[in-house]
């Protein structure tokens, strides 16, 4: 996207202004978004996002600037602004440097699409979405079906004053089906939202009719459900998106973003037992076509497999460049950002609890009264206290070891460090699901995952 000479000049100028390390991030996105309601297109939008972010390190102090003006003049001004800002706020010690010898790394196409976006016209997408919509109408109470399709193509270049030069191309596709059911009692929703790092073969990997049917069935289940019970009880959490509980309760507490400042309750605990024995927690950057996969992170480091917790013992944090400098921990290729408007920080990629050995049906045995959180919704955590919460999209009461009536409106709340100690058993049916994760470097695609598992006690917020 930019010539080696221009990149070299920008980085050289930054180093000349006293920075210990200079990093330039350049990207161009093409995004398309199609939303239809009851088969009719409501909105179709396409866009180009194009910009650069320059980050300079002075020890562990960082200055960051971004712009859409990628002309040589624009980038020169950006660099000078940064050096000047730092000059006013701190000390400049002039140390120039000659030309840079870049070590060029290009993507290997590990997650490349089989059916690129150009291969089919826009009508093709609309037809697939209409298949999902028709299938979602599983009952007359399904009044509305909304479908949406997202296509993202991102070209990235990360170059730095240590010779880093990494180019990546990331293509992601996701579609969403939301079924709305209504009767005299009110309105309820059900949804499915598959997404992966690939192209239009998403429709082969996830059949639109099946996704539609499942969304419709979930809306009907919720329409007929009673309000959820309230109180503290055992909870069996479903697989796939169920993993969002540990994304919130555990994952966010292991990012150097908070660990370095000791504002995470899990700071300084490497080698210590932080979870029950049956918990092994992985952050995987290399899953083929994973929603959270990319060949390089947004600091130019190659993605890797990181074991965070093994049999309950903390083995690694998720570490970005700044986090590594602050803590001395090995970088794990975890520097990520939404786009050029954010400086990167340590983030999750595809994060999951590894399979255990308990057969799924055994998890329910012996529960007199509890909740089966079959499909989870989104959630949130405060790393400083570990307090988390997340919604449940589809839930059932467990009575005497049996899954009984559906309930809606359940919310699970607790403190992460307590909850991970209370994981009583993990089954073997690992599965993953895509989500968008928000933190200080913006919203990034991440996968969550786990097998079915039993937590001995969680506060369930329902209508008492």
Partner 1 sequence: MTFEQARDYLLEKAAAMGLEAEVVATQERELTLKGRGGKLEQITSATQGGLGVRVVAGGKTGYAYSEERSPQALDWVLQEARENAELQSEGGGFLPAGQALGRHDLLGEGLSGTLEQKTKATLGVEQGLLAAPRIHKVDSTYYSESETQGVLGSTKGLSGAYRNGYSYLGAYAVMGEGSNLKQGFHIELSKEFNALEPGRTALEFVEKTGRLLDARPLKTGRYRAYFEPKAFGMLVAAMGMFMLSAKNVLEGKSLLAGKLGQRIGSDLFTLVDDPTLADGLASRPFDAEGTPAQRTLIIDRGVLQTFLHNSETAHKLQAHNTGHASRSYKGVLGIGPSNLFVQPGAGVQIADGVIVAEMMGVHAGANPISGEFSLQALGLLVQGGEVAHAVENFTVAGNFLELLQGITALGDKLEWNPMMGIIGSPMVEVAELSFAGA
Tell which positions 382-421 bind partner 1, by CB under 8 A: 382-391, 408-411, 413-415
- DSSP class of residue 357? S
- DSSP, collapsed to helix, strand or coil, labels residue 27 as strand
- Within 177-328, residue ranges assigned H as helices are 202-205, 208-224, 244-249, 256-259, 321-327
Single out the residue of 154, 341, 421, 431 in contact with partner 1 (rule: CB under 8 A).
341
Q: Which residue number, 163 or 384, has a Cβ lying nearer to partner 1?
A: 384
- Measured from the CB atom, the residue of 41 and 288 that comes closer to partner 1 is 41
Angle in degrees, 0-180, between the axes of helices 208-224 and 122-136, rounded to the nearest 10: 40
Please identify, using beta-carbon distances, which residue of 32 and 169 lies nearer to partner 1.
32
**Closer by beta carbon to partner 1, 256 or else 427:** 256
* Number of neighbouring beta carbons within 10 Å of residue 202: 23
Interaction of residue 370 with partner 1, rule CB under 8 A: no
Size of the site for partner 1 (CB under 8 A): 84
Two structure tokens written together for 292: 């959270």
Q: Which two tokens stand for residue 341?
A: 């408007």
Site stretch for partner 1 (CB under 8 A), options 42-50, 160-168, 209-217, 348-356: 42-50
Q: Is 251 in the site for partner 1 (CB under 8 A)?
A: no
268 binding partner 1? (CB under 8 A): no
Q: Which of 9, 16, 20, 50 binds partner 1 (CB under 8 A)?
A: 50
Q: Which is nearer to partner 1, 62 or 112 (CB)?
A: 62
Within residues 272-311, the interface with partner 1 by CB under 8 A covers: none
Shortest approach of partner 1 to residue 247 CB, angstroms?
Answer: 12
* Interface stretch with partner 1, choices 2-10, 152-160, 185-193, 396-404 (CB under 8 A): 185-193
Given 20, 378, 403, 431, the residue binding partner 1 (CB under 8 A):
378
Furthest-apart CA pair in the chain: how many Å? Answer: 74
Rounded Cα distance between 109 and 116, Å, is 13
Helices (H), 137-255: 202-205, 208-224, 244-249
Q: Are 435 and 411 in contact (CB under 8 A)?
A: no
Q: Does 369 sit near partner 1 (CB under 8 A)? A: no
Q: Which two tokens stand for residue 370?
A: 């509890």
How far apart CA 453 and CA 363 sit, in angstroms, is 7
Phi, psi of 299 (to 5 degrees): -115, 10
Question: 168, 295 in Cβ contact below 8 A?
Answer: yes
Q: Could you say whether residue 116 binds partner 1 (CB under 8 A)?
A: no
Does 47 participate in binding partner 1 (rule CB under 8 A)?
Answer: yes
Q: What are phi and psi of 158, to 5 degrees?
A: -120, 120
**In angstroms, what is the minimal distance from the CB of 428 to partner 1?**
28
Question: With binding defined as CB under 8 A, does residue 122 bind partner 1?
Answer: yes
Could you give the 3-state DSSP secondary structure of residue 279?
A: coil
Shortest CB 159 distance to partner 1, Å = 19
C-beta of 10 vs 354, nearer to partner 1: 10
DSSP 338: S
Give the sign of the dihedral formed by CA 351, CA 355, CA 361, CA 366. negative
Query: Does 34 interact with partner 1 (rule: CB under 8 A)?
Result: yes
Phi, psi (rounded to 5 degrees) for 403: -80, 120
Q: Of residues 187-226, which lie at the interface with partner 1 (CB under 8 A)?
A: 187-189, 222
The span of 202-210, 261-269, 308-316, 394-402 binding partner 1 (CB under 8 A) equals 261-269
Q: What angle do CA 413, 415, 420 make, to 5 degrees?
A: 105
Q: What is the DSSP letter of 250?
A: T
Q: Which is nearer to partner 1, 295 or 393 (CB)?
A: 393
One of 2, 44, 115, 150 touching partner 1 (CB under 8 A): 44
Residue (295 or 299) nearer to partner 1, CB: 299
Q: Does 6 bind partner 1 (CB under 8 A)?
A: no
For position 88 contacting partner 1 by CB under 8 A, the verdict is yes
């Amino acid at each position: 996207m930019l010539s080696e000479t221009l990149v070299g000049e920008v980085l050289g100028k930054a180093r000349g202004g006293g920075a210990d390390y200079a990093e330039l991030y350049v990207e161009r996105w093409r995004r398309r978004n199609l939303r239809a309601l009851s088969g009719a297109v409501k909105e179709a939008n396409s866009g180009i996002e194009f910009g650069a972010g320059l980050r300079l390190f002075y020890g562990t102090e960082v200055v960051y600037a971004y712009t859409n003006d990628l002309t040589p003049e624009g980038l020169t001004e950006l660099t000078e602004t940064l050096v000047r800002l730092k000059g006013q706020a701190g000390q400049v010690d002039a140390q120039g440097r000659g030309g840079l010898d870049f070590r060029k790394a290009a993507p290997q196409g590990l997650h490349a699409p089989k059916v690129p976006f150009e291969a089919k016209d826009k009508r093709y997408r609309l037809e697939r979405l209409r298949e999902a919509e028709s299938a979602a109408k599983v009952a007359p109470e399904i009044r509305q079906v909304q479908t949406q399709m997202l296509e993202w193509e991102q070209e990235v270049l990360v170059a730095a004053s240590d010779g880093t030069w990494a180019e990546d191309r990331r293509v992601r596709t996701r579609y969403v089906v939301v079924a709305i059911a209504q009767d005299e009692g009110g309105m309820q929703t059900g949804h499915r939202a598959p997404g992966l790092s690939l192209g239009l073969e998403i429709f082969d990997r996830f059949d639109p009719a099946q996704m539609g049917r499942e969304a419709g069935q979930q809306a009907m289940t919720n329409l007929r459900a009673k309000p959820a019970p309230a109180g503290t009880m055992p909870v069996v959490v479903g697989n796939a998106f169920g993993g969002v509980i540990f994304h919130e309760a555990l994952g966010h507490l292991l990012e150097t973003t908070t660990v370095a400042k000791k504002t995470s309750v899990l700071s300084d605990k490497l080698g210590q037992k932080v979870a029950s024995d049956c918990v092994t927690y992985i952050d995987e950057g290399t899953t083929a076509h994973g929603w959270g996969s990319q060949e390089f992170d947004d600091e130019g480091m190659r993605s890797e497999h990181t074991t965070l917790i093994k049999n309950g013992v903390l083995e690694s944090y998720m570490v970005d460049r700044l986090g590594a400098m602050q803590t001395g921990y090995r970088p794990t290729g975890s520097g990520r950002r939404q786009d050029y408007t954010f400086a990167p920080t340590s983030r999750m990629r595809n994060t999951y609890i590894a399979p255990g050995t308990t057969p799924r049906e055994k998890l329910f045995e012996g529960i007199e009264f509890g909740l089966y959180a079959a499909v989870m919704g989104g959630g949130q955590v405060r790393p400083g206290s570990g307090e988390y919460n997340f919604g449940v999209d589809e839930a059932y009461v467990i009575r005497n070891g049996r899954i009984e009536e559906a309930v809606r409106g359940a919310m699970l709340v607790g403190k992460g460090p307590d909850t991970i100690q209370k994981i009583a058993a993990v089954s073997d049916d690992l599965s993953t699901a895509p989500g968008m994760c928000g933190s200080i470097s913006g919203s990034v695609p991440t996968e969550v995952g786990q097998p079915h598992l039993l937590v001995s006690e969680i506060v369930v917020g329902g209508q008492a």
